[in-house]
């Protein structure tokens, strides 16, 4: 059995920005402390929700370093370091290791893509060279390619590849991965609307956008599922389903940052090309937040 990086709710943490567009480290520390106080089980830094694609290389490394220092080993820090440039991915992943990250989240190569054989070579090279626990990230809606079940099973043989963040939305695919890989690979839901369904099949938790807004409730939902109380977990999944859907009414992380700003968390705007929400969608998002008493 391999090392499990975490069980429960890991937050795909937003990167807060100042009015001038720079990273707001004071706010970043505040967000981290809020997550830890509300029992979030892991912090995923500089992932999709953290706007990694518009962070400079220096910013990318610095936000990981800052998160490691702020966390002080209270929760695992998992660094998003995947790229479509293998050499750059290796450089960024080594930098994350050197500043103390506990694990890596590696997305499949996007735009240039590759073959399934290429995926095995790409993930294996990073895992072997860096030596940190690796979470594969399967999100074909963003990258244009899916990691085949046979490919996942092959990668699961690598001692440093410990998990997959499954965000294809295909529950049958997730079930096949769990069945094929067993205790050689942990599975995390990459979709907040499928936390409980995937955990009922054996997933260990979620890498969550929702946790940015309601961290304690997301943790509690996962905790109930981990304890086998799927009646309670399913009730919570359905209770927050409309809010989850509204958090993806436009491309992530536009809605979650807007939600956090509406709540008063002041995380700033997204960097272009991500732009402010359409007003009609902002109204729908605000209604969902109001339903749960998050705004008045």
Is position 137 annotated as part of the catalytic site?
yes
From the list 27, 122, 137, 204, the catalytic residue is: 137
From the list 97, 165, 204, 257, the catalytic residue is: 165
Cβ neighbors of 246 (< 8 A, separation 6 or more) are 255, 259, 281, 284, 285, 287, 288
Is position 240 annotated as part of the catalytic site?
no
Residues recognised as catalytic: 137, 165
């Amino acid at each position: 059995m391999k090392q499990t990086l975490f069980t429960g709710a890991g937050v795909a943490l937003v990167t807060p920005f100042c009015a001038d567009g720079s990273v707001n480290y004071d706010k970043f520390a505040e967000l981290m402390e809020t997550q830890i106080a509300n029992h979030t089980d892991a912090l995923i830094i500089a992932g999709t929700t953290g706007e990694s694609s518009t962070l400079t290389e220096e910013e990318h490394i610095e936000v990981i370093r800052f998160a490691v220092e702020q966390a002080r080993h209270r929760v695992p820090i998992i660094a998003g370091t995947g790229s479509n440039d293998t050499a750059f991915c290796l450089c960024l992943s080594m930098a994350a290791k050197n500043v103390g990250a506990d694990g890596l989240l590696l997305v499949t190569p996007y735009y240039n893509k590759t073959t399934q054989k290429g995926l095995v070579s790409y993930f294996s090279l990073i895992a072997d060279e860096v030596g940190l626990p690796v979470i594969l990230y399967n999100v074909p809606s963003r990258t244009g390619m899916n990691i085949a079940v046979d490919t996942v099973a092959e990668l699961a043989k690598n001692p440093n590849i410990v998990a997959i963040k499954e965000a294809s939305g295909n529950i049958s695919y997730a079930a096949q991965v769990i069945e094929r890989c067993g205790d050689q690979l942990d599975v995390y839901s990459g979709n907040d609307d499928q936390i409980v369904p995937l955990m009922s099949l054996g997933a260990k938790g979620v890498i969550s956008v929702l946790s940015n807004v309601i961290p304690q409730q997301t943790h509690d939902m996962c905790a109930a599922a981990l304890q086998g109380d799927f009646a309670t977990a399913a009730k919570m999944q359905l209770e927050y389903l409309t809010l989850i859907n509204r958090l993806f009414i436009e491309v992530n992380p536009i809605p979650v940052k807007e939600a956090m700003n509406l709540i008063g968390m002041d995380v700033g705007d997204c960097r272009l090309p991500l732009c402010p929400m359409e007003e009609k969608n902002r109204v729908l998002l605000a209604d969902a937040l109001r339903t749960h008493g998050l705004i008045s």
